[in-house]
């Protein structure tokens, strides 16, 4: 193995969230030391997931089928759709285990600064779902940031026109991109105390 390949691996690892060049180097060294127990199974798992991972055609969650496990589960057809910015937020909601409906992943927030418009997010797909599914309530679980709130207001206006109830997770808790950092009890409380818009 050439030193170049090793450096390439370290450079790739350093692009992972939370890993800088120093920790990437340490992680690679650890993997090489544990190549039998850790590196080989990790490489195999990465290859398998890379080959099969796809975005759910309905909600934008990641999985290994066209429809993710949540969308494919008939017990989750409660009429409630929880709108989140990112898959990490969906996973945080699932970890709390309190929401029994389905999701819609936007893939970001509207941003005038970064020129992100509704068509750049999965907002048209959300509106389309209102006509295709028996939706009774859309719950916005978006960030407390300016862009998150702007996105929420935009979606609420669009949905109100479709005659579907809209609510938002309780204010006062940092939601959206930070859902992942909340404990399960806080997420549960924010969902239960959601407000009708």
Our CB check for Zn ion shows the closer of 25 and 104 to be 104
Composition of the chain by helix, strand, coil, percent to 5: 50, 15, 35
C-alpha span between 108 and 143 (Å, rounded): 10
Our CB check for Zn ion shows the closer of 72 and 161 to be 72
- State the minimum distance, in angstroms, from the CB of residue 93 to Zn ion: 13
- State the minimum distance, in angstroms, from the CB of residue 129 to Zn ion: 11
- State the minimum distance, in angstroms, from the CB of residue 25 to Zn ion: 37
Angle at 182 between CA 98 and CA 42, to 5 degrees: 90
Our CB check for Zn ion shows the closer of 94 and 137 to be 94
**Containing H/E element for 62?**
strand 62-63
Residues found in the chain = 197
Residues in contact with Zn ion by CB under 5 A are 56, 58-59, 61, 68, 71
Our CB check for Zn ion shows the closer of 56 and 142 to be 56
Tokens representing 42 are: 């990790």
Which residue in 7, 35, 31, 32 sits closest to 21, CA to CA? 7
Sign (positive/negative) of CA torsion 140, 175, 184, 194? negative
Our CB check for Zn ion shows the closer of 61 and 109 to be 61
């Amino acid at each position: 193995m050439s030193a170049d390949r090793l450096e390439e691996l370290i450079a790739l690892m350093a692009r992972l969230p939370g890993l800088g060049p120093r920790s990437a180097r340490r992680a690679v060294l650890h993997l090489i030391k544990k190549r039998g127990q850790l590196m080989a199974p990790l490489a195999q798992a990465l290859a398998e997931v890379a080959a099969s991972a796809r975005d759910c055609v309905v909600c934008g969650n990641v999985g290994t089928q066209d429809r993710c496990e949540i969308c494919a589960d008939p017990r989750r057809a409660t009429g409630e759709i929880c709108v989140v910015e990112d898959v990490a937020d969906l996973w945080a909601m699932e970890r709390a285990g309190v929401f029994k409906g389905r999701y819609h992943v936007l893939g970001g927030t509207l941003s005038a600064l970064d020129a992100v418009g509704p068509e750049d997010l999965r907002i048209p797909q959300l509106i389309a779902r209102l006509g295709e599914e028996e939706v009774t309530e859309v719950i916005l679980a978006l960030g407390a940031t300016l862009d998150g709130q702007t996105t929420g207001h935009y979606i609420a206006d669009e949905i109100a026109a479709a005659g579907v109830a809209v609510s938002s997770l309780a204010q006062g808790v940092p939601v959206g991109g930070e859902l992942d950092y909340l404990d399960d009890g806080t997420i549960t409380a924010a969902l239960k105390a959601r407000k009708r818009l």
